[in-house]
């Protein structure tokens, strides 16, 4: 069978692209590398999310405040509106939306190659009119298209149990000694549990694991974090900004594969879902009119939605790179670089 669309990757970008197109009655196949959903993540989702979530989407805590710490531990509070989700449960809920809409999902089926007709993957081949590469930061689709690797921040995280998180507050901690090039996050997942992790750039001289263990053991917040370490994980997120080109004949890139995560905060779920809907609607228009040149409109739509915020953040990323190994510079310049300060927007 020839599919109308093959989606590579069953993360948020892939599932929502697949759901949107399948809902319009087209044949959609999703190829997922892993046997189940397991994307590494802290799980903060802003309530600006543009889809209706099912009740089973893994929400663990509501977040109404973001507390950002300077290196000297003074802090700034900002009202925000979002939630922390258990990412595998959240992703599975989105896969279920795609399946309910009629998409077929093949697990343990990594993309191996793009072929003249479609794709080859572990276990077979399939042909398709259109392909959406939603396979994350180290996208195989992008590499098969000959694109450069993206600049990344590398991350480590624990789910800490028997700790004292601040209810309803996501805590963000900037300090060159613990997270050079990035920051530490503490996101409550319950009354006595929190996801605690960090991301660093190449400015770091130790591994993210070492920085994280040091933070939990000896930072000024250590006392509140002396609990049980569970669910250790590592991951990476793109910090190089939106790729210039998102559409390559009949192949589109969506989500982290296209550099849609914020280069400073690292948040990418909301953007991935926003772009996935745009991708899905553009694909539907191209299939309806049998005109693949219409796919180019996806790039225009995404740039209208994301180029400005991601471009601004990329500029801030440059500044953070300059300051990130000095607590003195971080202390002075943080308001200009972090999204909850008014100086960021000036």
Ligand X SMILES: Cc1cc2nc3c(=O)[nH]c(=O)nc-3n(C[C@H](O)[C@H](O)[C@H](O)COP(=O)(O)OP(=O)(O)OC[C@H]3O[C@@H](n4cnc5c(N)ncnc54)[C@H](O)[C@@H]3O)c2cc1C
Q: What are phi and psi of 288, to 5 degrees?
A: -60, -40
**CA neighbor of 153 nearest in space, from 212, 231, 214, 208:** 208
Instruction: Tell me, residue by residue from 105 to 124, as one string, x for binding to ligand X by CB under 6 A and - for no binding.
Output: -----xx-------------
Site for ligand X (CB under 6 A): which residue of 18, 21, 42, 283?
A: 42
User: Of 140-179, which residues contact ligand X (CB under 6 A)?
Assistant: 140, 155, 157
The CA distance from 335 to 185, in Å, is 17
CA-CA distance, 297 to 280, in Å (whole number)? 11
Tell me the per-residue interface mask from 181 to 220 with ligand X, x by CB under 6 A, - otherwise. Answer: ----------------x-----------------------
- Given 182, 227, 241, 255, the residue binding ligand X (CB under 6 A): 255
Query: Any contact of residue 98 with ligand X (CB under 6 A)?
Result: no
Residues 321-340 close enough to bind ligand X by CB under 6 A: none
CB of 290 to ligand X, least distance (A): 27
Cα–Cα distances (Å) from 235 to 198, 230, 282, 311, in that order, read: 10, 16, 31, 23
Which of 23, 24, 40, 281 is the binder for ligand X (CB under 6 A)? 40
Q: Does 11 bind ligand X (CB under 6 A)?
A: yes
Q: Closest separation between CB of residue 111 and ligand X, Å?
A: 4
Contact 43, 84 (CB under 8 A): yes
Residue spans of beta strands (DSSP E) within 260-307: none
118-121 vs 104-106, strand pairing mode = unpaired
Token pair of 318 as six digits: 């440059």
* Positions in the binding site for ligand X (CB under 6 A): 8-14, 31-34, 39-44, 110-111, 134-136, 140, 155, 157, 197, 235-237, 255-256, 261, 266-270, 272
């Amino acid at each position: 069978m020839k599919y109308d669309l093959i989606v590579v990757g069953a993360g948020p970008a892939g599932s929502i692209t697949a759901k949107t197109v399948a809902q319009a009655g087209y044949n959609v196949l999703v190829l997922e590398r892993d046997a189940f959903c397991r994307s590494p993540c802290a799980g903060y989702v802003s309530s600006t999310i543009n889809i209706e979530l099912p009740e089973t989407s893994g929400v663990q805590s509501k977040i109404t405040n973001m507390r950002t710490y300077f290196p000297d531990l003074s802090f700034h509070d900002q009202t925000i509106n979002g939630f922390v989700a258990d990412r595998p449960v959240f992703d599975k809920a989105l896969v279920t939306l795609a399946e309910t809409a009629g998409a077929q999902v093949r697990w343990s089926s990594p993309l191996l190659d793009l072929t003249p007709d479609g794709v080859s993957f572990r276990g077979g081949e399939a042909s398709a009119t259109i392909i959406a590469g939603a396979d994350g930061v180290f996208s195989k689709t992008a590499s098969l298209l000959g694109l450069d690797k993206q600049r990344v921040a590398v991350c480590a995280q624990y789910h800490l149990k028997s700790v004292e998180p601040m209810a309803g507050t996501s805590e963000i901690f900037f300090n060159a000694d613990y997270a050079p090039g990035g920051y530490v996050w503490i996101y409550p997942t319950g009354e006595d549990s929190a996801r605690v992790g960090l991301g660093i750039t190449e400015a770091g001289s130790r591994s993210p694991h070492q920085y994280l263990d040091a933070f939990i053991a000896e930072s000024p917040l250590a006392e509140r974090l002396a609990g049980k370490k569970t669910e250790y994980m590592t991951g990476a997120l793109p910090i190089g900004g939106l790729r210039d080109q998102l559409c390559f004949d009949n192949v589109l890139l969506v989500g982290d594969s296209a550099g849609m995560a914020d280069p400073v905060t690292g948040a990418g779920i909301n953007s991935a879902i926003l772009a996935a809907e745009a991708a899905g609607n553009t694909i539907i228009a191209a299939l309806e009119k049998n005109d693949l040149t219409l796919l180019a409109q996806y790039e225009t739509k995404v740039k209208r939605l994301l180029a400005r915020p991601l471009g601004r953040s990329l500029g801030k990323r440059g500044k953070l790179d300059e300051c990130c190994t000095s607590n003195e510079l971080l202390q002075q310049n943080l308001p200009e670089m972090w999204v909850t300060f008014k100086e960021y927007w000036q």
